[in-house]
């Protein structure tokens, strides 16, 4: 019985000490984050990142430490290092608002790297956790526009290059444009397009001609 009692006492003491160590580590983690915040406000992003890293070493699931470390990396345009920190912050988030903030920043990192599909998914995840965030909603719309523009550009690049005929018609249109004969230049290309689809490579040029003609009206 005495041995059992001693084991119980030992386990109790061990648990208490472990809890005290955890509390001490959490306090230390918060201290490092406060230091990091002060350095961040001073635009000392490198040292701020060091402080936030120390905070994570004390508490690996501390949302603020990981989230702020991600911000410090973003401030240095180090997106490769920033992304895993925001992902870690999502895992350590205790509230939906915390999770939304980290997803928002994940979206911004993907936008900076022109990874629009990934950005869209991140912004959607952010809004799922905080539907009232108008900045995220705006960023989502912008990401969708950029993705659409990117796909349109890809489709444009898939077109066959302008044929010799198309190039001759473009040159003829340029000559008319130099004489301020905008309508005639557009008519040349419109008729050429009926014969040769590769003239569509000059669609932007034709649209500008249409705009000039409208202004002259």
Quickly list DSSP for 180-202: T-HHHHHHHHHHHHHH-GGGGGG
What's the confidence (pLDDT) of residue 14?
41
CA R_g for the chain: 30
pLDDT band for position 94 (cuts 50, 70, 90): very high
Q: What is the mean pLDDT of the chain?
A: 88
d(CA 53, CA 62): 11
Domains of the chain, CATH where assigned? 2-157 (1.25.40.10), 164-216 (no CATH)
d(CA 147, CA 116): 6
What mean pLDDT comes out for the span 108-133? 97
DSSP at 95: S
What mean pLDDT comes out for the span 16-40? 78
Q: What is the pTM of this model?
A: 0.65
Inter-CA distances, 214 with 193, 205, 206, 209, 210, Å: 21, 14, 12, 9, 6
């Amino acid at each position: 019985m005495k041995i059992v009692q001693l084991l119980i006492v030992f386990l109790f003491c061990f648990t208490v000490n472990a809890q005290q160590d955890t509390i001490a580590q959490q306090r230390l983690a918060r201290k490092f984050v406060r230091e990091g915040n002060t350095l961040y406000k001073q635009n000392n992003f490198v040292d701020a990142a060091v402080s936030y890293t120390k905070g994570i070493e004390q508490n690996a699931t501390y949302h603020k430490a990981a989230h702020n470390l991600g911000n410090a990396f973003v401030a240095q345009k180090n997106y490769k290092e920033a992304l895993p920190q925001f992902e870690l912050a999502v895992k350590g988030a205790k509230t939906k608002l915390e999770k939304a903030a980290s997803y928002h920043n994940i979206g911004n990192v993907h936008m900076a790297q022109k990874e629009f599909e990934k950005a869209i998914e991140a912004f959607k995840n952010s809004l799922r956790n905080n539907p009232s965030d108008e900045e995220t909603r705006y960023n989502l719309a912008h990401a969708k526009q950029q993705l659409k523009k990117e796909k349109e550009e890809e489709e444009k690049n898939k077109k066959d290059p302008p044929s010799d005929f198309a190039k001759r018609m473009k040159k003829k249109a340029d000559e008319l444009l130099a004489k301020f004969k905008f309508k005639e230049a557009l008519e040349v290309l419109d008729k050429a397009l009926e014969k040769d689809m590769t003239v569509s490579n000059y669609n932007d040029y034709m649209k500008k001609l249409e705009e000039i003609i409208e202004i002259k009206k």
